[in-house]
Structure 1
Amino acid sequence: MENKQTLSVKEKMAYGCGDAASNMMWGMTSSYLMYYYTDIYGLPLIAVSWILLVARVVDAFCDPAIGYVVDRLGGLIVPRLIRVLAIPFGLTGFLCFLALPLSPMGKVLWAVLTYIVFGAIYSCINTPYGVLAVMISRSATQRVGLNAFRMMGCQAGSLFVALLTIPAISWLGGGESVAQHQYGMAVYVLALSILGSVLWLCVARGCTVRHPPAPVRQNLTVTLQHLCGNRPWVLSNLLAFFYFVGQTALFGFALYYARIILGGTEQLGANIITFITVLLFAGVPTCLPLAKRVGTIRSGIICLIAQGAAYLAMAMAGASMIGFFLSVALLALAQGVMSPLYYTLLAEAVDNGDPQTSTGSPGLAYSINTWVTKLAMGVTGFVLAQFLSQGHYVEGGIAQPLELSAWIAAGFVWLPLGAVCMQALCLLAWPNKK
């Protein structure tokens, strides 16, 4: 009977609050952190590229560690972990955007330290949150619905950030100088951090663990061997890696694409992020009926074909504003429709793997997936910063070198297009397509 139990809208909304909280800060770090480091805090591009890579790689190792802890202590520890870490999540997120008046080297060290600590806290709360979906329901249909609310929370958090960030920085700071932008950013992120902590407390209070896995006593090496033998789980991680390559490029380079390719301002970049986020949100409800009609894998392939066509159209549009917005609209809608499928496929791989490769270790299985996404974000952030450096980007400059346009297009269009192609190969290799 539990498998057929219909989850209440209230519980689904409570679960979605977790991704809303995560993605307010994810939206800040993915869309505005590079801009904050280069144009507001004044860090050199080479330092920024290494900060984005090193911080992500270092704190990503927290994911397997917390997943291992969850498996060892059992599923009932998950709501308690979320409750305990809710406030540290907000506090460390705020510190990432607190511009202390330090020496140039001191600024770099402060940026590295705060980003690593925030990433570690993010891992320790977001990994148990991902595992929670398996523990709430074992019904595939209920999980698609649950993950649809998760994606709506994700897009709501991202939309909130996209709409408010650029105007809020100027308004709260009281002007357009660097010092005023630093102050405005700090006050704005403080408000986001408080809201994020409250939303995490809603998750801990509103979600029920119905299927807690028993504590795992299996040898770690054996568990990892079994996971690596679970083909859908391996493909799920590859899907996640290339998905987050595309997402990091899309949101991380939007401000630069708006300024360099489209000839606009930071506000145009913020409007583009808002436009993408709205359409991502609008596409999510279509996922469930499409998956019911044609199956999960075929739905994903259809969405990836649409994304590939959108990137090619964007490349041909060049500086045309109409062509750009039409192509990015198709891209965002297709990504929104597909977004719940990533987590649905991962849940099925973890829960319904081959008996010989199913380990009963959802914490470790989900934590490695989170590690993979962070690795993708770190590597992509490093590559994007290197693209800016190779194009000789002038921090805060109005006039930019002519060669910069090609590097911006490479990061915003061609890099994520390659990631879309790799995702398609993963789905085509999926066993038992349905």
Structure 2
Amino acid sequence: MSSIITEVSLREKVAYGCGDLSSNLMWGMTSSYLMFYYTDIYGLPVVAVGWILLAARIFDAFCDPAIGYIIDRKGGHIVPRLIRNLAVVFGLLGCLCFLPAPFSSQGKILWAMLTYTAFGAIYSCINTPYGALGTMMTRSARDQVDLNAFRMMGCQGGQFIVSLLTIPAITWLGGGASMLQRQHGMALYAMMLALTATLLWRYVGRVCITRYPPPPVRHSPMAMLHTLTRNRSWWICNALVFLQFSGLAALYGFALYYAHIILRGSDELGSILLTVATIAGFTGAIICPHGVRLLGVVGTALTCLVTQVAAYILLVLAGSSIPFFFGAFVTLTLAQGIASPLYYVLLTHAIDRGRQASPPNTAGVAYSINTLITKISMGITGFILAGFLSYGHYAVGVSTYPAELQHWVMAGFVWLPMGAAALQLVFLALWPWGVVLRPKTACSLS
């Protein structure tokens, strides 16, 4: 084949990054603002919010493996078509999550649970094939690093838009700061994001080429799962991703509460925190391939994790000092941004090695379970964070907060994710070093 067919073009890399850009316009809204929307704008009880976040993830336990199995049974050629066909449904359900239906208190809880659960299901059905798409586009380790760097830049780009615009947009679109006005503004804003996300997903499905689509697999689900259970690297990747997303869920889910309760700031300060985190994460994704060239994939990841643990300690020492806090916060989020693409590079590598070691192709199931792990992690973390707010007796609209609540917010924003980062160091040390991607196989973004 010609180089035009075998090499991944810059246009495709950008298009692939648009998938995570689209995801994070809506999924980023749910990870950064959904808890805040439920408690402070839609008026749901904190305890109910925790159960909603957890119940939606339990339902996803059935959706992710199911769509992964369908991909493996139908073959890789179905992936771009699946992404194109589900784009509109993804946008519609994402919009409904932030539609403030005028029901009773119990009706609001039921509406929130149904819409968020449905959105999580469609997210599984579109994001799982998107994750598997990367390994079907290329076999080159260099292109895999580049694709996942563009993916993380798209992820951070979506988070940047959400972080920077959400708070001012809902006030401006709603025409004021009352609860009803903010509900109206949030609904309009979510509608605009949903339309953009739909168009971006369509672009991904049209531009990205599956050069190495796996053939349809006729093995039973049990045989495919048995193949995966023998893949040690895949198990390590799942553990790493669970812990990584636990830290990210704590960061983005609790940033607004930390700004209010610890830093004594406003909603706007929380928005600034999320924006700074996104800019630092985007910068980290750009730096990532250069770090891999110098230290290798695992070496770069280890360095970033040690930096994160140190940065969390500095956050504790910073207290309410905003300049000190921001220095530690930028260091933390930059390290997270550099590390983020590496987990997907390691996952791709683990799946490729599994394919070589055992005949059944399990890419779809492997990615679907990995996606499931990320959402279970976020669901459990969200449930824990909501519990922290409940234990601290969080109330909307008060001017002073009890010391007990400050301790719980610090636990959710700092201690919980710091523990997750430390555990990642343990699991990464178990990675089979004899099969680590070498620095020479990676390059800078082309």
TM-score of Structure 1 vs Structure 2, range by shorter chain: over 0.9
Check 1:106–1:68 CA distance in 2 against 1; reply closer, same or farther (3 A cut): same
The yes-or-no answer on 1:294 pairing with 2:282 is: no
Distance 2:15 2:357 in 1: 35
- 1:81-139 CA-to-partner distances (Å, cap 9, x unmatched) read 10110000000000000001100000000000000101111100000000000100011
Query: Within the alignment, does 1:386 sit opposite 2:367 as a pair?
Result: no
Q: Distance in 1 between matches of 2:213 and 2:71?
A: 11
Per-residue displacement from partner, 1:245-287 (whole Å, max 9, x unpaired)? 0000000000000000000001100000000100100111211
Question: Aligned ranges for residues 16-415 of structure 1 at < 5 Å?
Answer: 16-353=17-354, 355-357=356-358, 359-415=360-416
CA contact (8 A) 1:303 1:334 kept: yes
Quote the Cα distance in structure 2 between the aligned partners of 1:273 and 1:202.
27
CA–CA distance in structure 2, aligned partners of residues 56 and 396 of structure 1: 29
Whole-Å separation in 2 of the counterparts to 1:302 and 1:311: 15
Report the CA distance between 1:323 and its aligned residue: 1.1
Unaligned runs of 5+ in 1: none
> How many angstroms apart in 1 are the aligned matches of 2:286 and 2:193?
26
Q: 1:351 to 1:2 in 2, by over 3 A?
A: farther
Residues 7, 138 of structure 2: 8 Å contact kept: no
What amino acid does structure 2 have at the position aligned with 1:184? G
Partner Cα separation in structure 2 for residue 317 and residue 165 of structure 1: 27
Q: 1:213 aligns to what SS in structure 2?
A: coil
Work out the number of aligned pairs and report it: 434
The whole-number CA distance in structure 1 between the counterparts of 2:380 and 2:122 is 20
TM-score (norm 2): 0.95
Normalised to the residue count of structure 1, the TM-score between the two structures is: 0.98
Deviation of 1:422 (Å): 1.1
Separation in structure 2 between the aligned mates of residue 197 and residue 101 of structure 1, nearest angstrom: 26
Deviation at residue 42 of structure 1 after TM alignment: 0.5
Counterpart residue identity of residue 253, structure 1: F
Q: CA deviation at 1:290?
A: 1.4
SS of the residue corresponding to residue 217 of structure 1 reads: coil
**How far 1:402 moved relative to its partner?**
2.1
Q: Over residues 381-400 of structure 1, what are the superposed CA-to-partner deviations in whole Å (9 max), with x where a residue is unaligned?
A: 00000000000000232232
Asked if 2 retains the 8 angstrom alpha-carbon contact of 1:49 and 1:382, the reply is: yes
Residues 383-429 of structure 1, C-alpha deviations (whole Å, 9 max, x = no match): 00000000000023223222100000000000000000111111100
What secondary structure sits across from 1:237 in the alignment?
A: helix
Q: Distance in 1 between matches of 2:362 and 2:417?
A: 32
Helix, strand or coil for the counterpart of 1:395?
coil
CA distance in 2, matches of 1:2, 1:274: 43
Q: Distance in 1 between matches of 2:190 and 2:123?
A: 16
Offset, 1:219: 2.0
Alignment partners' CA distance in 1, 2:2 and 2:214: 15
CA distance in 2, matches of 1:275, 1:392: 29
For residue 177 of structure 1, report the CA deviation from its aligned partner.
0.4
Unaligned runs of 5+ in 2: 437-446
Distance (whole Å) between structure 1 residues aligned to residue 398 and residue 45 of structure 2: 14
The whole-number CA distance in structure 2 between the counterparts of 1:66 and 1:171 is: 39
The percent of aligned pairs where both chains have the same amino acid is: 55
State whether residues 355 and 361 of structure 2, in contact with CA within 8 Å, keep that contact through their aligned partners in structure 1. Answer: no
Cα distance in structure 1, aligned partners of 2:86 and 2:254 = 31
Shift of 1:357: 4.8
Cα distance in 2 for partners of 1:156, 1:222 equals 39
Measured after TM superposition, the shift of residue 432 of structure 1 is 2.2
CA contact (8 A) 1:59 1:117 kept: no
Q: Is the 8 A contact 1:229 1:357 kept in 2?
A: no
1:48-102 per-residue CA deviation (whole Å, 9 max, x = no partner) reads 1100100122124211000000000000000111011000000000000000110
How far apart are the structure 2 equivalents of 1:320 and 1:394? 24
Give the Å deviation of 1:218: 1.3
Aligned CA distance change for structure 1 residues 387 and 427 (closer, same or farther; 3 Å): same
